[in-house]
Amino acid sequence: MDIVQDQTAAATVPGASTPAPAGEPAARVVTRDVSVFYGQKQALFDVSIDIPDRSVTSFIGPSGCGKSTFLRCINRMNDTIDGCRVSGIVELDGEDINRPDLDVVELRARVGMVFQKPNPFPKSIYQNVAYGPRIHGMTRNKAELDEIVVTSLKRAGLFEEVKDRLDQPGTGLSGGQQQRLCIARAIATRPEVLLMDEPCSALDPIATAIIEELIDELRENFTIVIVTHSMQQAARVSQKTAFFHLGKLIETGDTEQIFTNPRHEKTQDYITGRFG
């Protein structure tokens, strides 16, 4: 399963996702030779990785190493940036998501995203969570929508705190609550993959602990990819870890192996705090 960037030359054939060895979960997201350019500048170099189903994969690495950029390739959020170009193959369940005829709206419904800074809409808590189901026409009546909102809030561990004020603005919550609201909002569309871009970087340790616990629970139903600056967090929540450096994927493997016995010297340097 582990694909060190240097060894992927053979795996560049389109659709050539490696069959999963027995005992390992199947790969949900498979990328081959993904490069990203901002104008003339190349930000990401030939990243190939398999992201397993129903587990947490964390991307670590120093600032500006391309981990967020790569994360945004998985739901094509890079499309929204002027002058950004992506090459290579990104597959979700064996389907190339960069195909011109792919409906990006449908893709983003399947691949949810939680951002670095909590970004609730300036609407009520209820409206925030109902936003996704509503635009995707997932419900036929108010009762169904209520049901989705309540379940999502419950799964995000926020329901008990806000059940009496669902009509209050989401922006009035505390930072940690806002981030859980954003998670509830993301899982309300019932995505298969959940991308989290440094979801705890704006939060205090207590709020962070709550979110980490939540991530661990969500793992049962979702494929989660999390970008984090905190190596402790990566070690705590993820089963797989990928280390990025200067736009290149240096090493990926089981979290335990990466943190105890990294194969690559740069990984070793980074996790022991020698740079970054």
Partner 1 sequence: MNALLIAALLLVLLSVSYQMGWSRSRKLADTTGERLHSRPVYHGAFVAIWAILPALLVLGIWAIFSKSASEAYILSQLPPEVSTGPQGEMVGAIERVKSIANGFGVVGEADPTESAAASAYSQFRTLTTLVVIAVSAGLGVLGLFWAHSRVAHRFRARNSVETAVRIALIACSGIAILTTLGIALSLIADAVQFFSFVNPLDFFFGTVWNPRFQSTGADAVGQYGLLPLLWGTIMVSGIAMLVAIPVGLMSAIYLSQYADYRVRNVVKPIIEVLAGIPTIVYGFFALVTVGPFLTGIGNVFGLDIRATSALTAGIVMGIMIIPFISSLSEDILHQVPRAMRDGSLGLGATKSETIINVLVPAALPGIVGAVLLAVSRAIGETMIVVLAAGNSPVLRLNPAEPVSTVTVTIVNQLTGDADFTSPQSLVAFALGLTLFAMTLVLNVVALYIVRRFREQYE
- Provide the binding-site residues for partner 1, judged by CB under 8 A: 75, 77, 80, 82, 105-109, 112-113, 115, 117, 119-123, 131-132, 135-136, 171, 182, 185-186, 189
Exposure string (b/e) for 26-56, b if CB count within 10 Å is 16 or more? ebbbbbbbbbbeeeeeebbbbbbbbbbbbbb
Among residues 88 and 132, whose Cβ is nearest to partner 1? 132
Among residues 103 and 160, whose Cβ is nearest to partner 1? 103
Residue 74 CB, shortest distance to partner 1, in Å, is: 11
Residue 16 CA to residue 197 CA, distance in Å, equals 28
Among residues 35 and 171, whose Cβ is nearest to partner 1? 171
Residue 108 CB, shortest distance to partner 1, in Å, is: 4
Residue 222 CB, shortest distance to partner 1, in Å, is: 15
Residue 174 CA to residue 166 CA, distance in Å, equals 15
Give me the sheet containing 240-245, strands edge to edge. 95-96, 84-92, 27-38, 41-52, 248-254, 240-245, 56-60, 223-227, 193-197, 111-114
Residue 147 CA to residue 232 CA, distance in Å, equals 36
Residue 127 CB, shortest distance to partner 1, in Å, is: 9
Residue 275 CB, shortest distance to partner 1, in Å, is: 30
Among residues 118 and 247, whose Cβ is nearest to partner 1? 118
Residue 248 CA to residue 47 CA, distance in Å, equals 7
Residue 165 CA to residue 264 CA, distance in Å, equals 51
Query: In degrees to the nearest 10, what's the CA dihedral of 45, 46, 50, 56?
Result: 0
Residue 153 CB, shortest distance to partner 1, in Å, is: 16
Among residues 40 and 80, whose Cβ is nearest to partner 1? 80
Among residues 92 and 250, whose Cβ is nearest to partner 1? 92
